[in-house]
Each structure stands twice: as structure tokens, then as C-alpha cells.
Structure 1
Amino acid sequence: MTSTLPRPTGALTDRPTVEAAFGFDDRRSRTPLRDREVRWPELGTAASTAVQRLSRPRIGTTLAIGAGTLVSLAPGLLPRTPGAQAMLTGLLVVLALAIAGIVRLVVRSWGFDINRRLSGVRLPLSIGTSVLVVGAAALAGHWQNRLRTAMSTASIGADYWLRWLIEAVLIVGVFVGVTRAVGWVLRKLGWARGVSLAAVVAALLYLVAAPAVVGWRQAAYAGANAELDPQLVQPISDTRSGSAASAVSWSSLGAEGRKFVSGTPAGPTRVYVGVESAPDLEARVALAVRELDRSGAFTRSNLVVMVPTGSGWIDSNAVRGFDQRFGGDVALVGLQYSYAPSWVTFVFGRDSAVTAARALFTAVENRIRTLDHRPELYLYGQSLGAIGGSSVFADDADQDHRTCAALWAGPPAGQVHHAGATVLANSSDPVIHWSPALLWRAPDLTGARVDAPLPQWLPVVSFVQATADLLAALNAPAGHGHRYGTDQGTAMGTC
């Protein structure tokens, strides 16, 4: 027995499909819609719903965008470009949206829909958040101009905030688009296959992509270290490493070593050994001591062991400062332990700075003990070099006993022996602020030189701002941020 079911009517059969939206319905006849009578009530409803969502965004979305933007606009330590500010805003908003999404899923699993229960506050909350963001942007502009005035740089205008807004929206849009694309793929594949695919992708990234990126960056750092700058002239003086009389070849000095030995002034003896100058640390240290003997460094009245930063850089301002401090009667020696940027070495290879500084200082110290004429021994380090230099000693007393004086420029927060050493620190230098402890307590800026307006410390927020400022710490004008002057030499203490 058969029965004839009536043809369904209503929303299910009348709802336009994707094909219908392009001029055809989903029937086999493929008859153009212009020849048919079609009802569109659901399309109107969908459009109305979309408009309502735009005018009344979810509570979590509003709070996330507002919180991320407000934190990003909090006062920082250094002036920022609109691109840098947009990057910070975009990343913080994306992070806040991710947290809001997780909270939304958890709350919904409890059977509570906050957007439906509190639907009346969605529009006022959106308006209030917009007002707060505009006010925060105005205050941020005022703070940026205060910093720029203190650092003698140009003020910002309205175009700064227009570029910031456009770039921040693009950054958030890209992240949201990628997230939705991943969600669409997971829905199409199903969670089981989606998780399996994610595991395979993660394994490939860990086993193949990550090593490839690391290798590529190491090759890039090595290439930059080996690159010969045609503007640098190989020294001819026997008192410089890299000269014809030196056992350290010009090419093995590395990019920063070549800058160090070829610079002015002419007075100080300059010895430098690069990572390519000998096969291992022990051989490089021995080569440095032989270079000191050969160049006549031990005949000078003063000898400064200079611990470079991660890339091997020794600040030329410090060299000029030591020349002024000792009237040219000084020998300077540096040992390269890495050619990666300081932040890379700080995160992944800090031990290399410590080991190299200890080995070189101890070897120089032991050689001086054998001499009839003993130069005064000093120790200098900037940034990561300050950590390496300070690690030579067990404590403050050991530091005072084994050196005439020590000087640390821009040392990372809480990483060096302060007593008995001269510490140079700009209050606008994010390096002296940054520490995990900055999340919950204010930094100790005792002895720091206040060179610019100092923002009020805020839990978590100050840590975020200092972290963002680290990327531009060396882009500040001289005397601000992580840039120090000739006082790196002239401020060195006495025996």
C-alpha cells in the first residue's frame, strides 16, 4: 500500500540556496529564477539579523576588543611608529578574542547564554567601549608627544592614528579569517579527522619546518657575520688585531670585530678574536692572550676586558670613552661568543656569554700575575655583555678583589652585581625594566638616570609594554632607551 505525501511548504523549501543566490534554484530543471515566483522572507530575516549583530556585537567580543586595545594604548617607555603600535594592538585584541571565545564555550556548556540574558546591555556596552578607546587614544597621543619632546624627536599627528587603525584592523582581520578557515575545515572533516590532521601538521612543523627555519636564521646570522663591509679598512697598526702582523685574520674577526679594530680613536690597543678565528673556546682564549702579548697590550697602564653583546658588538661610544678616561694609555680586548642578535642569545644561548667571559677574564688575570709590569685590570659589559661580565665573580667582594673597577651599561633587571660597580641605566631603557617579576611588582630603578617621562607601573600591563618596547630599544635617540654614550668609559671607577 502506498501513500502520497503532501509537498512540504514553508521555510525549508522556500529558503534560497547558494545556487539560487546566483540565479538558479536547486531543482533539476535549473530554470532561471526570473521565470519563477520565489518568496524571500527568510533572506530578509537573515539580513536583518546580520545588521543587528553588527550594531550589537556579542558582549565578550566587545569586552575583548576594548580590553586588548586599552592595554595596548597604555603608556610605554619609548616612542613607537604607527606600525609597531598597530602590531601590539592587533596581537592583544586577537589574544583577548581567543580568551573570550573559550569563556563563551565554557559558559554555554553550563547552559547559560549571557548574550541572550543580557541583550539589553550589548549596544550601550559597545558605545561605552568605543568612547573609552577614543579617550585612551587621545591620552596615548599626548604621552607619545611627551616622550618625543624629551627625546627631541618629531611629534605625531592625526595621520598616525589613521595608519594605526587601518593596520590594526587588517591584523585582526587576518587572524580572525585564518581562525574561521580552520574552523570550517574542522567542521567539514569532523573532529576526529580534524584532530588527526592537526597532529600531523604539528609533527611536520616540529620535525621539518622548525629546524628549517632555525637553520635558515642561523645561516642568515652567519652570512651577516661573514659579510665584508667595503667601507671598513683593514688596520695597518701592529696594535690592532686583523693587521698584517696579527695572528687573527681580518676575515675571521666577524662583522662586529672588524668594526671594533678599524675604528677611531687611534690611541687604545685593540685586540679582538672572532668565533671563526679558532676552532673552540679554549683555543680562542689562548689566541686572545697571545694577541695581547704581541700587540704590547700588557705594557699599557690599563687593560679593559670588554664583553660584547650577543652579536659580538662592542659600542664605539665605550671605546671613545675609555680613550678619554685613560688618555689613550689603555688596551681593550674582546672575545666573540656568538653572532646571533642579543635577544636570541639571551633566550637560547646565555650560557655562552657567561662561559666566554669567565674564560677570557681568568686567562688575562693569570697572565698579568706573571708580569713585572702589571696593568690595572678593568671589566666592562653592555646588556647581555653585562650579564656575562658580572657572572665572572662569585659576589660583590670577589668582584672588588679581582678588578680595579667594573662598569655595566644597560644591564637586564636584577642580573648583575651592583655593589662596587658603576651601573649606567636610562629610565627609558626597557632592558633594565624587563623581568618576569614585572608582572606583579614595580621595577627597581635605583640609580637609573631619569631621561624621559616614566609611566606609572601597572600589574601585567607594564610587562606587556616593556616587552613591546624591547624590539625598538636600540632605535631610540642617543642617551635614551638602550643607547648609551661615552660615559660608558668615562664613568669607569678607580682602583
Structure 2
Amino acid sequence: MLSFLDWFDRRTSGMGLVIGALFVAGSLTPSLIPRSPEIQGILAGFCFAAGYGVTVLAEALWHYLHLPRLTTRQARWVVPPLGGVALAVVTVFLLRAADWQNDIRAAMQLPAVEGVAPLVIAGWGTGVAAGLLIGFKLLAALGRYASRRIAQVLPPRQAYVLGIAVTALLAYQIASGVLVRGMVRSIDRSAQALDDLVPADQVAPGQQWQTGSPASLLAWQDLGREGRAFVSQAPLPQAISEVTGQPARQPLRVYVGLNAARTLAERAELAVQELDRVGGFERAVLVVGMPTGTGWIDPAAMEPLEHLHHGDVATVALQYSYLQSWISLLVQPDDAAEAGRALFGAVHRRWQQLPEESRPRLYLYGLSLGAHGSQQSLRLHEMLDRPIDGALWVGPPFVSPLWQTLTAERDPDSPAWLPRLTTGEVVRFTDGRQGLQEGAPWGDVRIVYLQYGSDPIVFFRTDSAIRQPDWMRAPRAPEVSDDLRWYPIITELQLAFDMAIALDVPMGHGHRYAYVDHIGPWLAVTDPPGWTPQRLDALRAHFLQKQADLDH
């Protein structure tokens, strides 16, 4: 009699091929982000392997429990017709795939595609599926070998179970340890080298108010790639005045890179000292900004705020990683939160020392992993006597505890992609076009979440393999396809792939937040005076044109 692992390793499952094909069909359905044929092919390969693997595991467990099963003859009568049905389903779904993708593309103002390149999808899918199945076969062979060795000292059934456990543990250690650590080290070295590189056309600033200038406490080199861009791209007063028609001050931007000091606490204190040096605590608005994993601060968020307050804004930010946000979240999950607490704590302590009548209004800002870190920076015992004035958190990743709590506690008649909280005195959600509960009174602290309904960084769920996410229920976000359906396992794989390509869309969709969509949230949070509807229309027109120029 074949053992569990022998059976799993040696047999090619006809039913597994059928279910794998149905998983491929499901992968062709729309999700949140439009997919290229290459990405669709890779996704199809993963889905086929998942469907095949789940079926084989279920059959192996059935066999292990000695439950009744089809004879070989019965299987020959049952499986081929089911295979024909699966092939027909794949064909139908493939014929509809272009229309499904075009629905998403139309919602994102992208040109339509005429077909889905089935040969490209098949080529990539076959290669990926074959590689994954070979890997699983090798693991099964390893498990069989381990079980046989263990069976020399333990009864067979216990040996089989222990062999599976040992193999799974070894595979996990290799994948998460050797492979992941090696890959991350390589990526980190490359990212650090890129971060240190100063292009020939990027000249150190010469004005005393600029971080990285000769008068600064921080060397230009130590700001990092994204820090240098953030500091050097601050709009000038003349440029702001041309848009607003009002006199403007020079916005102040302070940035501390990873190489600026040895410890996180030292870098946070250095940020406060530099902020003090340039006069940041003398501005009307002070923003503690948390960058994304690479250290990027989104100009689409900062420039509208600086225009709304006619340049009377100081922003301070602290780099905590070189890595892309999703990599940093996987391998350095606590770094963003620790950096957020260190920077906010240092700024808040200095802010409290100022006379109450002259201190600036204090706000928090973060995008993506920066939003996660910024939310984590708030500590209740530090906030009770002297709270912040508000916060704008954009595209908060699905792991953010505060965001999860607020979304779960929303009013029952509000959708998960645009929650409403009873009175909305403290917290409101918006997608940039709706959701700020116009006319409702605000409290003393104003917090706004800006999130697009098509942002998979926000709406990925780790349990979407086994249950439908709430945001898929009606009413859906305007840019989410009506044809999007929940399929066990498949939907989670689709959303995981969506996260990887969430920036490959026009501004205003996915994880690319538009300039113009920050105007309403900043208005709600900071309440700048003097903005008439006509002046706001002119401001929006300016940033719409800037978005159009960037997209082209």
C-alpha cells in the first residue's frame, strides 16, 4: 500500500488537472488593477498550481483516511467529461477576458485592448505552473525520504506525519531564511547604492533655509536620494503666488536620511534641531510626515497643502528604509512604526515647550507604509493633555490596526471602501471625490483617511482566500468592476498580484494618489481661511493640468 507521501508524489491527479484549469479560468476574471498578458500568464500559473495542489492534498487526505473512492475504471469515465467542461469554461472565460480588462481600463481612462494574447498567457502560465509543481514534487520526495528514515524508529503513521512536519519546517526555513534574507540583502545593497548616488545635475542647495545647504546641520549626501528630491523640489513663493493670487512664504522642508546619524533617536533629535534652525516651529502649520519604504514623500500631498496655506508650512520627515514598502513591511515590519514614534515624540516634546498662543498647528501625514507608521506613532498618554490638530493618512496598508478598527466599527449602512462613523467629529474617510460628510460639525481634532476603492494595498485581506471581503459587497466603489466576483483562493492571489502592480495605473487610481484629490482632505483637516469656491476651482485646475502633464 502506498503511503500518503508516496501517493501524493507519484500520482498525476486527473481531478487536479480539472480543478487547476477551473482556477485558471477564475484568474481571467477582473480584479482591481488591469493586467498585462505577461502578468495574467504568471497569475494563471500560480492559480493552476494552487488548484492542482489543493485537489491533490484533498485526495491524499481522503486516501489516508481510507474513505471510499472511485476505481480506476470509474475515474476514466468521470474525469474526461469534467475535463471537457473545464476546457469549455476556460475557453469562454478567455473570450470574455478582454472585455473584463477593458471595463477596468475604461474606469481608469486607459485605452482599450483588442485581445488578451492567449499564447502569451499560455506560455507564461505553463512555465510558472510547471516550475511550481516540480518544486512541490521535490518537496514530496524529500518528505517521503524523511518519513522512511523516521519510520525506522517510529510507527509508520507517526513517521509520515512527522516527515511532513519536518519537510514543511525545513522548506519554510529555507524560503524565509536563506532565500528571503539573501534576496533582501541583495535588494538592500542595491537600494542603498542608489540612495547614496547623487546625480551630476542635482546640486546641493545654497539657501540657509534649505536642509543640506552649507548652513544646515545635515550634509547633502546624508539626505538620501528621496530626501534630496523632497528638499530641492519645494515650490518657490513666486510659483505659489502665481496660482493662488496671494502673497506667499517659502515652504520649509526638513528631511533626515538613514546615514545622518547612528541611531534612530539621534536622527529624530537631529530632525528637531534642523527644524528649529530653519524656523519650522514659527510657521502656521507644522507637518510630521512619514515617507514610504524607499523614503519618498509624495509631492502630490505636500504641494496642495503648501498652496492652501500660501507657503506658511513646515514639513519634517525621517527615512527608515531603502526598500520598497511591501518588502519593508514583510522583512522590517516594525521599522516604520518605530521611526514614526521616534520622530513624532521628538517633535511633540519640542512643540509642547512653545507658548500655546504662538505654537504652530501640528499635523501628521503618511502615505502607504508611511501612513501605517504615522498611525502607530500616536500614543494616548502623550496626547491627552496636548493633542495634535489632525492627520491625513493616505492609502493606509491593510495591516494598519487603527484603520482596521475604524473600518470595522463603521456605520452599518456605509460601505467598507468608504466608511462613515456616526457623527464624524474626529475621523472621516474619502476617496477624494466623496465621503467628507459635508455640513457635519468637526471636533477639535480632525483625522481624514484618503483611500481609493481600487487600491489593493488598502483592501487586500489575508483571509480573502476563504471569505468574501466586505468591500466587494454592494454598493461598490465606482472604479470597481461589476463583474468582479469572489472565488476561494483565486481572489487572494489576484489581489496579491494587484498589490505588485498597484502603481502601474494613471494618477487617481490604484495606489497613485492624485494632486487634486488631496485638496479636499487638506481643506477638511487644516481649515485654511479665505478659500472661495472660485479660488478652489482655479487651484484644482492648476493641479489637474500638472497631473495631465505627468501622466503624459
Q: What is the CA-CA distance between 1:268 and the residue it aligns to?
A: 1.3
**Identical aligned residues as a percent:** 30
Match of 2:459 among 412, 429, 433: 433
**Which residue does the alignment assign to 1:312?**
295
Counting only pairs closer than 5 Å after superposition, residues 102-113 of structure 1 correspond to structure 2 as 102-108=57-63, 110=66, 112-113=69-70
Q: Per-residue deviation at 1:68? A: 2.0
Whole-Å separation in 1 of the counterparts to 2:349 and 2:168: 55
1:238 and 2:267 aligned: no
1:442 is matched with which residue?
Answer: 469
Residues 191-222 of structure 1 deviation map (CA, whole Å, 9 limit, x = unaligned)? 549x8998998687787655443432332232
Cα root mean square deviation, aligned: 3.5
Q: 1:488 pairs with 513, 518, 521, which one?
A: 518
What pairs up with 1:217-296 in 2 under 5 angstroms? 217-266=187-236, 267-296=250-279
2:112 to 155, 171, 183: 155
1:140 aligns with 2:125: no
Mapped to 2, the partners of 1:186 and 1:360 lie a distance apart of 49
Larger Rg: 1
CA contact (8 A) 1:426 1:448 kept: no
Residue pair 2:196, 2:225 contacting (<8 A) in 1 also: yes
Compare 372-381 and 173-182 and name the one that shifted more. Answer: 173-182
Residues 462 and 189 from structure 1, CA distance in 2 versus in 1: closer, same or farther, beyond 3 angstroms? closer
Compute the TM-score of the two structures, normalised by the length of structure 1.
0.78
Aligned-pair CA distance for 1:67 = 2.8
1:81–1:286 Cα change, 3 Å:
same
1:416 aligned residue: 402
Structure 2 Cα separation of the partners of residues 447 and 272 of structure 1: 42
Cα distance change of structure 1 residues 449 and 95 upon mapping to structure 2, 3 Å threshold: closer
SS in 2 for 1:421: strand
User: Which residue in the other structure is 2:311 paired with?
Assistant: 328
1:266-317, CA deviations, whole angstroms, 9 ceiling, x for partnerless residues?
Answer: 2310100011101101111111011111112122111111111122111111
Q: Secondary structure at the match of 1:312?
A: coil
CA pair 59-410 structure 1, distance change in 2 beyond 3 A: same
1:76-118 alpha-carbon deviations (Å, 9 max, x no partner): 0011111111111101211222233334444455374454223
* Whole-angstrom CA distance in 1 between matches of 2:139 and 2:268: 53
> What is the one-letter code of the residue matched to 1:407?
L
Cα distance change of structure 1 residues 144 and 115 upon mapping to structure 2, 3 Å threshold: farther
Q: Shift of the alpha carbon at 1:147?
A: 0.9
Aligned partner of 1:85 among 40, 56, 64: 40
- After alignment, is 294-303 or 196-205 more displaced? 196-205
Distance 1:424 1:448, change over 3 A: farther
CA contact (8 A) 2:293 2:324 kept: yes
Three-state SS of the structure 1 residue aligned to 2:205 is coil
Tell whether the 8 Å contact from 1:87 to 1:171 is kept in structure 2 after alignment: yes
Distance in 1, Cα, partners of 2:25 & 2:385: 47
Pick from 374, 389, 396 the counterpart of residue 359 of structure 2.
374
CA contact (8 A) 1:320 1:489 kept: no
**Pair 1:462–1:213, CA change in 2 (3 A):** closer
Q: Distance between the aligned counterparts of 1:429 and 1:484, measured in 2?
A: 10
Which letter does structure 2 place at the counterpart of 1:488? Answer: H
Structure 2 partner of 1:352:
335
- Unaligned 5+ runs, structure 2: 1-11, 151-162, 237-249, 407-426, 428-445, 528-552
> What amino acid is aligned across from residue 320 of structure 1 in structure 2?
E
Between the aligned partners of 1:447 and 1:125, the Cα distance in structure 2 is 36
2:507 paired residue number: 478
- Cα displacement (A) at 1:161: 2.6
2:193 counterpart letter in structure 1: G
Unaligned runs of at least 5 residues, structure 1: 1-56
Q: Aligned with 1:334: secondary structure?
A: strand
Secondary structure of 2:402's counterpart equals coil
Q: 1:60 aligns with which of 15, 18, 40?
A: 15
Contact 1:427 1:454 in 2 (8 A): no
Give the match for residue 24 of structure 1.
Answer: none
What is the SS of the residue equivalent to 2:316?
Answer: strand
**Structure 1 residue 338: deviation in Å?**
1.5
Is the Cα contact below 8 Å between 1:89 and 1:168 reproduced in 2?
Answer: yes
Q: What amino acid sits opposite 1:99 in the alignment?
A: V
Give distance in 2, aligned partners of 1:181 and 1:285.
49
Q: Deviations over 1:111-161 (max 9, x none)?
A: 744542232233221211111111122333211001111212222223533
User: Which residue pairs with 1:52 in the alignment?
Assistant: none
Whether the aligned pair in 2 keeps the contact of 1:60 and 1:104 (CA below 8 Å) is no
Greater shift after overlay, 439-448 or 366-375? 439-448
**Could you give the per-residue CA deviations for residues 453-493 of structure 1, whole angstroms, max 9, x where no partner exists?**
36545263433322220001111110000011223355221
Q: Do the aligned residues in 1 keep the contact of 2:17 with 2:52 (CA within 8 Å)? A: no
1:292-303 residue pairs with structure 2 within 5 A? Answer: 292-303=275-286
SS at match of 1:482: coil
Aligned residue type for 2:103: R
The whole-number CA distance in structure 2 between the counterparts of 1:400 and 1:449 is 39
Count of residues in Structure 1 that have an aligned counterpart in Structure 2: 439
- Counterparts of 1:118 and 1:290, CA distance in 2: 75
Match of 1:391 in 2: 376
Matched residue, 2:79: 122
